[in-house]
């Protein structure tokens, strides 16, 4: 899980979540907030709900632009005493 988060919170992915990352987050961090940007709107939901929401929006004719970890979630992780230092350093690095 930490390796997945480090990969997402890197200068290669800039907090964007790829489909294989989403599978891991859904299983290991189901309550992590995820931002989905569609053609007509944005929505934040827990990781375990993302695939369902995407399917529903696409069935209604909208399209998915991208999926990422919202800034507010990064802020919460950065100030939490339960988040490992290596993740906090990655968050600081991406914001620098």
pTM for this structure?
0.93
Look at residue 4 in the predicted model and tell me its pLDDT: 93
| pLDDT computed for residue 1 by the predictor | 76
pLDDT (tens place) for every residue of the chain, 96 residues total: 789 999 999 999 999 999 999 999 999 999 999 999 999 999 999 999 999 999 999 999 999 999 999 999 999 999 999 999 999 999 999 998
**Token pair belonging to 66:** 């991208």
Residue 64's alpha-carbon distances to 1, 22, 41, 43, 68, in angstroms, are: 25, 14, 10, 11, 12
Under a CB-based contact definition with an 8 Å cutoff, are residues 30 and 21 in contact? Answer: no
């Amino acid at each position: 899980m930490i390796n997945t988060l480090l990969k997402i919170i890197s200068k290669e992915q800039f907090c964007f979540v790829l489909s294989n990352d989403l599978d891991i987050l859904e299983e290991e961090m189901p309550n992590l907030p995820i931002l989905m940007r569609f053609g007509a709107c944005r929505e934040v939901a827990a990781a375990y709900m993302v695939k369902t929401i995407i399917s529903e929006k696409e069935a209604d004719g909208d399209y998915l632009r991208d999926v990422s970890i919202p800034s507010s979630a990064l802020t919460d992780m950065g100030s939490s005493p339960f988040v490992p230092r290596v993740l906090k350093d990655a968050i600081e690095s991406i914001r620098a």
